[in-house]
Structure 1
Amino acid sequence: MKDTLPLLIATDFRPLQREGVGVLQANITLKCNQSCFHCHVASSPKRTEMMSDEALELLLQMLDQHPEIHTLDITGGAPELHPRFQWLVRQARQRGVTVIDRCNLTILSEPGFEKMAAFLAEQQVDIVASLPCYSADNVNAQRGDGVFDASIAGLQQLNALGYGKEGTGLTLNLVYNPLGPALPPAQVELEAAYKRELKVHFGIAFNQLFTLANMPIQRFGSTLISKGQFSSYMQLLKDNFNAATLPDLMCRNTLSVDYLGQVYDCDFNQQLKLHAGSAVEPLHLRDYLDLDLKGLPIKVADHCYGCTAGQGSSCGGALS
């Protein structure tokens, strides 16, 4: 049977409902300075999509209309490449909202972004940064030549500002992705190994390591299909389905917004254009301004096994 991308409703999931919304995750651009093998949004330097000023304003209106939203999770692409990234961060922080920047670390070394790390520290932005291994060979194989060194330089820059250090209030979390179609190892043991290796070899400290299974969609999904590995990877995810992960799924308390301002149950559904809940047509941020966000139905499909296999995807979200 020919491999195809997953669009069928998954049979292992009981009907899921949103418990509320504490996190508003916004993909503000698909432009990136990298083209990573595992990227589930297919970002690259060639992408030009950017969130409009109108949609950015609606994000802030959502924060104003729904005080239960305590976190704005900004992702991409490299979200820092959006020309109004800093404006959006300041506006959210002025509202007392926690801001997460899904940072790829290498952007901090790009020309014109030399002061970005200092800005993030000044605004007390939480950073979630992708570092798929503490080995240069593995990172470069997944993300491109030279990426490991640039990532280490970015981490050292952030550490110098206090990120990842006890008592500073500046949170630096890292994210691990397997190199190929495999499940992540146990998070506790892997986090200990990351902390040991990064400290010993580079003097780097960080708060937590999140483990994330590669999603069988977009660039990674297409690669699996081209190698004839898609069906076997989906079977691996299904065989390792863990119902205990269901209560903590990202979609239970997060809304995902694309660069057009359209709303989805999660960032992965966004990439497959599976519109939020029971909607047939895409819903927009403006449709949610006066809507009670608790109890809304959540749309699931076979790719959802990526968040529920084994220990589950502990970071609960998309990464740039």
Structure 2
Amino acid sequence: MHDTLPLLADTDFPPLRRRRLDTLQVNLGYRCNQRCLHCHVDAGPNRTEAMDAATVDLLLEVLRARRVATLDLTGGAPELNPQFRRLTASARALGVRVIDRCNLTILSEPGQEDLAGFLAAHGVEVTASLPCYSPANVDRQRGDGVFGRSIAGLRRLNALGYGDGGALVLNLVYNPQGPSLPPPQAALEADYKRELMAHFGIRFDRLFALANMPIRRFGSTLVSKGTFAAYMALLRSAHRDDNLDTVMCRELVSVDWRGDLYDCDFNQMLGLPARLAGRPRAHLRDLLRHDPAGEAIRVADHCYGCTAGQGSSCGGARGGGVQPAEAPPAGAA
């Protein structure tokens, strides 16, 4: 595994500062039932890192004290953490919006047969990864049989009322399969809705088109193939200043399985901790004493992945701009 941080650290990315804290994005651990080629977390079935009960208790205390509006749960497969359901139910009881970053196949894993019902019962918003509406392309990126299990998971969610434009929100996530920018999000969303309904009867609310970050597993692949510099040049050339206002790090703090704080999930994977009140490394307990608003955000060259073209981040495109010619059509290899 190549360390891409030395290639990213020397940057001219514009400086950023935080606004009011709105979202805690919490990585509950790196264990996953899949091992996707584009995964910036390097998650997989053999990873053992997992947030413990004491850290979950502290997290709930921070949600109450800071009146955080949104809890965004990720992994790995966050649902594999034994604390997932307790945390989810407790946060919802506080009136916090909860997002589950779901890989869909987890819904059919042994012991998780009631997971979809649990999510629906607690009004959890599901953001599900489906990098293409083509079976061959999804299985190539995520593993044999993943597309079929993903469709089965989507049908299960639809049967519970997800994706109908009501209270049970179901969003999908698209990632390119190689070193290209995603196509324009609005047009791609229309394609997804048409194809998934026509061939599988699937409904969903929104599609988020995310650029692949040049870090961890994907970054290592770029280095190995000698395409890292070209991909970074693509991201930098497509940068738009107007996307700086809506990048997720402005109002989000990323929390790892140990409770350490980062400015975003990508910084977490690079080992670039957030700085709070002059401390070189911040922890959840620091949020009980210090407001992160106004703090400087740590940036590096990978940040161009969130501001290139239409913009990206975990909430999908923001700027709505036209992508450069290098962007492939949906499903392109």
1:275 CA displacement:
1.2
Alignment of 1:1-320 (within 5 A): 4-5=4-5, 6-13=7-14, 15-67=15-67, 69-167=68-166, 169-277=167-275, 281-313=280-312, 315-316=314-315
Aligned residues: percent identity? 59
Equivalent pairs counted in the alignment come to 313
Moved over 6 A (4+): none
TM-score (norm 2): 0.91
1:314 CA displacement:
5.3
SS of match in other structure, 1:283: coil
2:321 matched to which residue of 1? none
SS of match in other structure, 1:86: helix
Contact 2:26 2:71 in 1 (8 A): yes
CA distance in 2, matches of 1:258, 1:7: 21
1:243 CA displacement:
0.9
TM-score (norm 1): 0.95
Contact 1:3 1:225 in 2 (8 A): no
CA distance in 2, matches of 1:9, 1:285: 28
Contact 2:13 2:303 in 1 (8 A): no
Describe the superposition over 1:49-94 as per-residue Cα deviations: whole angstroms up to 9, x where unpaired: 0002121111101111101x10110100000000111000011011
CA distance in 2, matches of 1:259, 1:244: 33
Cα RMSD for the two superposed structures: 1.5
2:327 matched to which residue of 1? none
CA distance in 2, matches of 1:172, 1:316: 13
SS of match in other structure, 2:161: coil
Describe the superposition over 1:241-280 as per-residue Cα deviations: whole angstroms up to 9, x where unpaired: 1111100000000000000100000000000111113767
1:9 CA displacement:
4.1
CA distance in 2, matches of 1:3, 1:23: 29
SS of match in other structure, 1:112: coil
1:316 CA displacement:
3.4
CA distance in 1, matches of 2:32, 2:12: 35
For structure 2, the residue ranges without an aligned partner over 5 or more in a row are: 317-333
Higher mean alpha-carbon deviation, 158-167 vs 209-218, is at 158-167
